[in-house]
């Protein structure tokens, strides 16, 4: 699976530097000198990072062979990706990458099918966005990703088990 780590923005200066919109939680590693990144569209890459630096909260990157503003402009809008196999295993058994959770079948401890994990949000608390037959048509259920509500994540089995408190799945049934 390909994971987006950044998107090339506008050129910076005359020597081929580009602003990169970072979409990874480890930019210093992903954009270290010598790193090779696949691209979307594929014909623009792969790109090798020649140098990277932070300036005023922005990541500026120069890629090998991109030595002037014209070459940099040609890369604008390119999406930078890595293969999920390049990710290091996480330290704890209760830690997961977002892409591992997306697509898992969600069911209750009683075996009732709720839906499928469509996304993972990180807004102060991790939330699973669930869509599917157990939701109202077109609706999404936000499920806090905490052990008390999500007691089991079965990656090999492709499922996630929840023990929802009253009202989580059906707000009309809230106490």
- The band of 37, judged by pLDDT with boundaries at 50, 70 and 90, is very high
> What's the confidence (pLDDT) of residue 54?
93
* 93 lies in some domain: no
Same domain for 76 and 10? yes
- The band of 157, judged by pLDDT with boundaries at 50, 70 and 90, is very high
Q: Evaluate if pTM is beyond 0.85.
A: no
* 79 lies in some domain: yes
* 173 lies in some domain: no
> What's the confidence (pLDDT) of residue 137?
62
Question: Of the candidates 42, 63, 86, which is a domain's last residue?
Answer: 86
Same domain for 52 and 26? yes
Same domain for 108 and 59? no
Q: Say which residue, 130 or 134, is predicted with more confidence.
A: 130
* 175 lies in some domain: no
Mean per-residue pLDDT, 52-64: 92
CATH code of the domain containing 164? 2.30.30.240
* 69 lies in some domain: yes
Strand partners, 3: 82
Mean per-residue pLDDT, 108-127: 87
- The band of 5, judged by pLDDT with boundaries at 50, 70 and 90, is confident
Per DSSP, helices labelled H in 12-139 are 27-30, 69-75, 98-101
Same domain for 80 and 7? yes
Question: Of the candidates 60, 86, 112, which is a domain's last residue?
Answer: 86
- The band of 53, judged by pLDDT with boundaries at 50, 70 and 90, is very high
Burial 109-143 (b: 16+ CB within 10 A, else e): eeeeebbbbeebeeeeebbbbbbbebbeeeeebeb
Strand partners, 81: 4, 38
> What's the confidence (pLDDT) of residue 173?
58
Question: Which domain, by its residues, includes 103?
Answer: 98-168
Same domain for 14 and 59? yes
């Amino acid at each position: 699976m390909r994971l987006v780590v950044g998107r090339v923005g506008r050129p910076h200066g005359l020597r081929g530097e580009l602003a990169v919109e970072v979409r990874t939680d480890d930019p210093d590693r992903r954009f270290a000198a010598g790193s090779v990144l696949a691209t979307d569209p594929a014909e623009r890459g792969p790109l090798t990072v020649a140098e990277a630096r932070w300036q005023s909260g922005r990541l500026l990157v120069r890629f090998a062979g991109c030595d002037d503003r014209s070459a940099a402009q040609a890369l604008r809008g390119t999406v930078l990706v890595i293969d999920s196999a390049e990710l290091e295993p996480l330290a704890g058994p209760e830690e997961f990458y977002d892409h591992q959770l997306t697509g898992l079948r969600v069911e209750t401890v009683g075996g009732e099918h709720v839906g499928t994990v469509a996304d993972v949000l990180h807004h102060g608390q991790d939330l699973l966005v669930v869509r599917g037959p157990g939701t109202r048509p077109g609706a999404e259920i936000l499920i806090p990703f905490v052990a008390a509500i999500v007691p089991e994540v079965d990656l090999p089995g492709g499922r996630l088990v929840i023990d929802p408190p009253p009202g989580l799945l059906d707000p009309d049934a809230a106490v």
